[in-house]
Amino acid sequence: MAKRVHKTEKAPAPIGPYSQAIEVGGFLFCSGQIALDPLTGQVSNGDIKEQAELVLKNINCVLEAADLGFEHVVKTTIFLIDMNDFPAVNEVYGKYFQKAPPARSTVAVAGLPRGVRVEIEVTAMRN
């Protein structure tokens, strides 16, 4: 089974040796997105809601590059450096997944790249 790389300049370029997304067998595996501005490469200085919003906008751009949308997402993983941010991230996240939300895990971590507060990865499936 062949794998296909999906990439877009509308989302931040990878900051390491990985792809923005890989598609195989009808599934799209998106690398975790953080609150990086895709135009400047700079980290958002905003609060947790602003960071979560930018993360989800970046994810949207990666999904669109594969001709998919949030309705195709079947699993997400959220990484937080502070579980006290859970309600605020949940509020932003809920705007993007209003119908049939995907399965999800939320994990507290000691740190994230570039000092951000949240990272989200998604897996999507073609219908």
Q: What is the pLDDT of residues 19-59, one digit of tens each?
A: 999 999 999 999 999 999 999 999 999 999 999 999 999 99
Cβ burial, residue 49 (10 Å; 0-12/13-18/19+): middle
**What digits encode the pLDDT tens for the residues 72-116?**
999 999 999 999 999 999 999 999 999 999 999 999 999 999 999
CA distance 79 to 76: 10
Structure-token match 């900051």, residue found: 15
Query: What is the model's pTM?
Result: 0.96
Residue 127 has pLDDT above 90, yes or no: no
Q: How confident is the model at residue 1 (pLDDT cuts 50, 70, 90)?
A: confident
Q: Read off the pLDDT of each residue in 6-27 and give the average, rounded to a whole number.
A: 96
Which residue segment(s) compose the domain that 64 sits in? 4-125
Domain total in the chain: 1
Burial 87-125 (b: 16+ CB within 10 A, else e): ebbeebbeebbeeeebeeebeeeeebeeebbbbbbbbbe
Q: What is the CATH number of the domain that holds 69?
A: 3.30.1330.40
